[in-house]
Amino acid sequence: MGKNGQKTRTAGHISWGLLFVLCGAIFLEGIDVSMIGVALPSIRAELGMSTGSLQWVVSAYVLGYGGFMLLGGRAADLFGRRKMFLTWLTVFLVFSGLGGLATEGWMLIVARFVTGISAAFMTPAGLSIITTSFAEGPARNKALLVYAGTAAAGFSLGLVVGGILSELSWRWVFYGPVIFAFVILLAAIRLIPDSGRPESSAQGFDLAGAISVTGAMLLLVYGVVEASNMGLSWTIGALVCSAVLLSVFVVIERRSASPLVRLGIFAAGSLVRANLGAMLFAGSFFGFQFLTVLYLQELRGWSSLETGLALLAVGVDAILAPTLTPKLVNRFGNIPVIFGGFCLAAVAYALFLPIGLDWTYAAMFPTMILTGIAFSLTYGPLTIAATDGISEEEQGLASGLLNTSFQFGAALGLAVVTAVNIAATGIDQSPQALLDGYRTAMIVPIAASILGIIITALGLRKRASVHYVNN
């Protein structure tokens, strides 16, 4: 019994050490996404980029990440999760460094695109390693909540870190992740076990399905992100082509002996609701974050560091996600906690509607703190709901679907917020006109949160069984 107990304790230490490494990777991905925003003015000043080309520093990452996420999830299932994680973490490290060395705008854009692709393969591999290393139930739920809380902390704290690094040089926004990624890579080589190629009933690689769905995703993101810059006919053309490729993908998947996405996975209502919720929550949060940065920097004249510190309160999710959220999930279940998170988000964004030209930070603080609490209540439980009850061989697929939803939700939220802001502001660039534009665009995050409340409410009636977290 003593030896068995020792083996159990040792396995437990290895499992939680493994979780620590994977949390480091998702934290890296989170801060990499969010801290670029505060560095954009410095990047434009040094590289001489226009406003149109500057947005591609962000858009290229979204295209690479969102477009290849499903392929990344399936590749983890087919070719080995450890292999995919280590390979693409290395690619992430290399191209983040190349971004910091860029001397032309196009170099930086290419580096960001490849970095996004690497995240698309690395992230679902990491998440599926967790879901297959911890038994379904309390242990897995606790691990996922810690993992999701770390990811949320990366998103929210990224602006603070980005503001600090940008004060030194915008290039450190890229060099910093290189150092962090190298440390994670060394730890991952040691702590992630080589489990070989996962056993799957679908051993083939659906290349036609991968090409069609990736093309559809890329065109959809391109159409959404570039809607404000392209003419109406080009935007419609991109979206129509995306719809055509998506239809082709569905036909291929129905006929394929080893489909990239088993369409039957969407029969799981909790998975569908979780992915819709992820899209709406990411869209609302990133839309709000974008408007807040514009308001503070362009209208109020705050520095990147001051902006990052102002958003620091949102980082309360880093504390609450691994502490308060598991207790609430244990007491009430995933769906009620998600419902509460969406309600808090709607209230938080509504409180920001009266922003003025001379608002004090004290007036902004309730929105910041409530947004952080909403993030801590929503992100982790959504992660559990999206993977709960899914077979082990499809955990990579479920992880890829969830991360795709978050990424496309963020892109859609940013695009809609930008379009509404531009339409509301018009050609008048006076302070009052800019303020009116921000106020009007803030309705988008509120509306997305309300839709999230409605979708989550539908799931409240269908809770047949809920897994709880043990303290």
pLDDT band at 467 (very low <50, low <70, confident <90, very high): very low
Mean pLDDT of the chain: 82
Task: Report the alpha-carbon distance of residue 227 to residue 170 in Å, rounded.
Answer: 28
Task: Kindly report which listed range (4-18, 263-277, 359-373) carries the lowest average pLDDT score.
Answer: 4-18
pLDDT 10s digits, 127-171:
888 877 887 777 777 887 788 778 767 776 787 788 888 888 889
Q: The pTM is what?
A: 0.77
What integer pLDDT is reported at residue 195 of this predicted model? 63
pLDDT 10s digits, 165-221:
888 888 999 998 999 999 999 999 988 887 655 555 445 667 788 788 778 877 877
Evaluate if residue 247 carries a pLDDT over 90. Answer: yes
pLDDT band at 361 (very low <50, low <70, confident <90, very high): very high
**Residue listed under structure tokens 């209502």:** 269
Evaluate if residue 244 carries a pLDDT over 50. Answer: yes
**Residue listed under structure tokens 């503070």:** 296
What integer pLDDT is reported at residue 1 of this predicted model? 44
% of residues, the chain, pLDDT over 70: 89
pLDDT 10s digits, 19-42:
888 989 988 888 887 788 777 777
* Domains of the chain, each with CATH number or no CATH: 15-193 (1.20.1250.20), 207-259 (no CATH), 261-465 (1.20.1250.20)
What integer pLDDT is reported at residue 266 of this predicted model? 81
Q: Which of 26-40, 348-362, 424-438 has the highest mean pLDDT?
A: 348-362
